[in-house]
Amino acid sequence: MLLRQNFIIILLFFGMVLSGLIYLNNNQCRCNQQITEQGIINGGTGATVDPRKLRYNQQITEQGITNLEWKQNTFGLHSSPGLLYNQPSALVGSRTDVASVTSWSAPIIWEGTFDSTLIDSIYKQQNLTIATTVFALGKYVGFVKDFLESAEQHYFVGFRVHYYLFTDQPELVPEVKMGENHTLTVRKVQSLNRWQDISMGRMEKLEKLIENELASNANYIFCLDIDTKFYGHWGVESLGRLVGVIHPWLFDTSRDRFTYERRPKSQAYIPAGEGDYYYAGAAFGGSLENVHNLTKTCREQMSIDVANSIEAVWQEESHLNKYFLLNKPSKLLSPEYMWRDINESAAQIKIVRFTNVPKIYAEVRPNL
- Annotated binding residues, written as ranges, equal 140, 225-227, 247, 259, 317
Helices and strands in the chain: count of H runs, count of E runs: 8, 10
- Of 317, 336, 344, 363, the catalytic one is 317
318 contacts: CB under 8 Å, gap ≥ 6: 260, 261, 266, 268, 312
CA distances from 256 to 31, 47, 213, 253, 278 (A): 60, 49, 41, 8, 11
- CA 357, 329, 327, 253 dihedral sign is negative
Closest CA to 283 of 250, 316, 327: 316
Binding positions for UDP-N-acetyl-alpha-D-galactosamine: 140, 225-227
Active site residue 336: no
H helices of 277-341, in order, are: 288-307, 315-326
- 3-class DSSP state of 251: coil
Report the C-alpha gap between 364 and 368 in whole angstroms: 8
Report the C-alpha gap between 250 and 258 in whole angstroms: 7
Angle at which helix 195-209 crosses helix 288-307, to 10 degrees, equals 140
The answer to whether the CB of 147 falls within 8 A of the CB of 126 is no
Single-letter amino acid, residue 145:
K
DSSP 255: G
Binding positions for Mn(2+): 225, 227
- 3-class DSSP state of 229: strand
Report the C-alpha gap between 225 and 337 in whole angstroms: 12
Catalytic positions are 317
